[in-house]
A = this chain, B = another copy of it.
Amino acid sequence: MAEDKLTSRSENYSDWYNQVVLRADLADYAPVRGCMVVKPYGWALWENIQRELDRRFKETGHVNAAFPLLIPKSFFEKEKEHVEGFAPELAVVTIGGGEELEEPLIIRPTSETIIGYMYSKWIKSYRDLPVLINQWANVVRWEMRTRLFLRTLEFYWQEGHTAHATAEEAQEETLRMLDVYADFAINEAAVPVIKGRKSETEKFAGAINTYSIEAMMGDTKALQAGTSHYLGQNFAKAFDIKYLDQNNTLQYCWTTSWGLSTRFIGAIIMTHGDDQGLILPPRLAPYQIVIVPIYKNDQERSVVMEYIEKVQSQLKGFRYRLDDRSELTPGFKFNEWELKGVPLRLEIGPKDVEKHAIMAARRDIPGKAGKISLSIENLDLKIENLLNEIQQSLLEKATEFRDQNIHFADSYDELKQIVENGWAEAWWCGSAECEAKIKEETKATTRCMPLDEKIRGKGKCVYCGAEAEKRIYFSKAY
């Protein structure tokens, strides 16, 4: 596995990414073009992501359900913008049980249509509102250029779909879930995302407004890491989702949807990874700790292993793994677990046993600087502190990197230069034409208009010079 050295990030960032995904055993290519297999190590990471998101969804009053994979084709034609957005990406089932189907079925690329249909059956009165449902699901979008985790034909995600009695409530929900995503990204994944609103061009097909969390990767490109859509009454009207209000009048509902996918694993890899491989944030890492025993002979081995049993009794609260494979050298194991991004390595040899200590090595600080000898007294507390420090330090480092690579562009020339290696923040008149021109000429797309209250005022559009009230980020993106 770790036989050859990884390509370095500076040499070829894209190769580095692919190699890390494959060699760290996160995922593999499936036999169908553009599909992936999420391997056990990658899935364990996704399960931890799911656990932390699901907890937040439930704390904000949501429940889970499961809607069907297969959607009648006609459903997609009911919302005009939605069908335009998704038609080129659909996978179509035309044969079932050996017979041609009367109406082709679409494998869901997203579930607004089928859920809208069900909500129209379920919702009768204001007493039924709000409906706050999430589902964990696989979806299929026929993408042309694919990358493991970042863009695959089938991917895994959660999609929340809510229905409300008023526009205000739906708007609040949209922003609440954006906050939930940002809170998760920052505090669990140590990915310092920026919350903002997407442009008209970049919004979800069928939404009134789309909000996103945007993350900066190690090559300064942007990655949209989660989105929350205010759908207004668009889908309610297309699918007849109505309720009787307190005055016995029929009203259309106001709906939202929001999603975060296995793409987020790509964000974690490219936010924290270094030339040795993955660096996983302790709060999400499948293994927070790996123990590597060090010995020269059987006698040393038995002393060390006995001591490790005692150490393990203090690790019950952590996700840890003892790497006791006898056919491999400690050096090989160090490389492998570095590649796999385990936050903390405990090295334990005869000298550590003598000293009633262990040697802890931080993944985020390479070499000697990241090593510290800990006596085993209250080891659990010391390790908890170390893991918290690593988590905190990953967030700080990523935030610093992000802030160093966002620059305000006063002119279009400046913008062109900035987006070569960073994000440009700039005034923008709001026209899709300026946006398209900038994209065409620089390959940078609009990421989002930051929600930060501080950013108010007026300026001149960085492209056309017209009066502008919006500030927006431009950058190359995944």
Residues of A within 8 A of B (CB): 28, 30-32, 35-40, 42-44, 46-47, 63-72, 75, 87-98, 104-105, 107, 114, 117-118, 121-122, 127, 133, 137-138, 140, 142, 144, 153-154, 156, 327
Q: List 17 A-B contacts (CB under 8 A).
A: A28-B122, A31-B71, A31-B72, A31-B117, A35-B69, A43-B64, A44-B63, A66-B156, A69-B107, A69-B154, A70-B91, A70-B153, A90-B97, A90-B98, A98-B142, A127-B327, A138-B138
A372 to chain B, nearest CB (A): 31
Q: Nearest 6 A-B pairs (CB), nearest first?
A: A97-B142, A40-B63, A92-B95, A38-B66, A35-B68, A30-B68
Contact in complex: B105, A96 (CB < 8 Å): no
Copies in the complex: 2
A304 to chain B, nearest CB (A): 22
Q: How far is the CA of A32 from the CA of B118 in the complex (A)?
A: 12
Residues of chain B within 8 A (CB-CB) of A70 are: 32, 35, 91, 140, 153-154
Name 14 extra pairs, CB < 8 A, besides A30-B67, A30-B114, A92-B95. A28-B118, A31-B75, A31-B114, A31-B117, A32-B105, A37-B67, A38-B65, A38-B66, A39-B65, A40-B63, A70-B91, A88-B98, A89-B97, A93-B93
Contact in complex: B88, A107 (CB < 8 Å): no
Residues of chain B within 8 A (CB-CB) of A107 are: 69, 93, 107
A13 to chain B, nearest CB (A): 26
Residues of chain B within 8 A (CB-CB) of A42 are: 65
Contact in complex: B91, A96 (CB < 8 Å): yes
Residues of chain B within 8 A (CB-CB) of A68 are: 30, 32, 35-37, 154
User: Which residue of B has the minimal Cβ distance to A152?
Assistant: B68
Contact in complex: A37, B64 (CB < 8 Å): no
Residues of chain B within 8 A (CB-CB) of A75 are: 31
Q: How far is the CA of A98 from the CA of B76 in the complex (A)?
A: 14
Q: How far is the CA of A47 from the CA of B58 in the complex (A)?
A: 13
Q: How far is the CA of A89 from the CA of B66 in the complex (A)?
A: 22
Residues of chain B within 8 A (CB-CB) of A35 are: 68-70
Q: How far is the CA of A47 from the CA of B54 in the complex (A)?
A: 12
Residues of chain B within 8 A (CB-CB) of A94 are: 92-95
Q: How far is the CA of A28 from the CA of B133 in the complex (A)?
A: 15
Given contacts A64-B47, A70-B35, contact A97 B140 (CB under 8 A): no
Q: How far is the CA of A327 from the CA of B126 in the complex (A)?
A: 13
A4 to chain B, nearest CB (A): 17
User: Which residue of B has the minimal Cβ distance to A66?
Assistant: B38
A54 to chain B, nearest CB (A): 9
Contact in complex: A91, B87 (CB < 8 Å): no
